[in-house]
Amino acid sequence: HLLSFINDILDLSKIEARKLELYPTPLVLDEFLAEIVEEYQTRAVADAELTFIAQVAPNLPLVIMADEKRLRQVLLNLLENAFKFTPAGQVKLAVALTERTPDAVGLRFAISDTGTGMSAPELAHIFHPFEQAGASDQRMKGTGLGLAIAQELVYAMHSELTVESAPHCGSRFSFVALFPAVQPASSSPTGAYGTDISAAEPAANRHRRALSSNLSGPPLKRPPPQPYLSAAELAELLDMALKGELPNLQTQSERLAQKEPRNQPFVDALQVLIKNYEDEKIIALLQANLPAPDRLNCENRS
């Protein structure tokens, strides 16, 4: 959290000094989106009360020219905000094509949630640095810089981040940006900046098939992964969680995944919660997989 805060301060300093620059490079869009979706799928799977939906249009371009780091930063800031203020309900990421020319493509990115929402006075300063809106019990979980930085990054893309929200009705953040298209050269299999388009295409097509089959349909909600652990192993993990020993919990869970590879999906879900210091959800996930007598004993201890 401290490192994230320091990075936000550095970004804010660059913005205020007008020294924030974008460095576009060829970006395989489907692979980029698949990485983001996978991360938040895992988080939603670990939370029984939250559903994550991804709607990715099937007609997106294969490759665009974009600053991958900054585009990712915008989307992650918006998704983190949506997850933070949606204790139960739904978070959705939607990506659609708005226009296509021989030289450029327009893409709309929208992140919506069914969370706590915001009032009109809160919306008036939602993009101001160090300002936080939403439920008071969630405000201290962030720096108040994420949305301000996201807006400035979107400005740098010659667009604007807009928000629609109302108390108890959730929020929707969106922006439309124009990206230069990348065309494979007729005499060479490489695109701009030497990117091998022909080599990138098969991998991207695999991601496109996965995205179109899994992300444009029903909500991506699955039951939590089933652990292949003994009651004693689960009890040991839970004991660490109850004592707040998250580093030990992380190390031990990784060992158990190495010992039994079938535990990897469960450990991945657990690691996401550990990374985000979700103590209560860690305990709930472990307790839910204990046999009934052990579960009762651990609940009494907590």
Could you tell me the residue ranges of all domains in the chain?
Answer: 2-214, 231-301
Burial of 285 (0-12, 13-18, 19+ CB in 10 A): buried
pLDDT attached to residue 143: 52
d(CA 207, CA 62): 10
Q: What is the DSSP letter of 225?
A: P
The encoded tokens of residue 177 equal 């940006």
Report how far residue 57's alpha carbon sits from residue 60's, in angstroms, rounded to the nearest whole number.
6
Give the CA radius of gyration of the chain.
21
Task: State whether CATH 3.30.565.10 applies to domain 2-214.
Answer: yes
Tell me: the pLDDT tens digits for 194-217?
334 334 444 444 444 445 444 444
Q: What is the pTM of this model?
A: 0.59
- pLDDT for 14 beyond 70: no
Q: How confident is the model at residue 189 (pLDDT cuts 50, 70, 90)?
A: very low
pLDDT tops 80 at residue 222: no
pLDDT tens, 37-73? 999 988 888 877 888 999 999 889 989 999 999 999 9
**What's the sign of the alpha-carbon dihedral 207, 225, 217, 171?**
negative
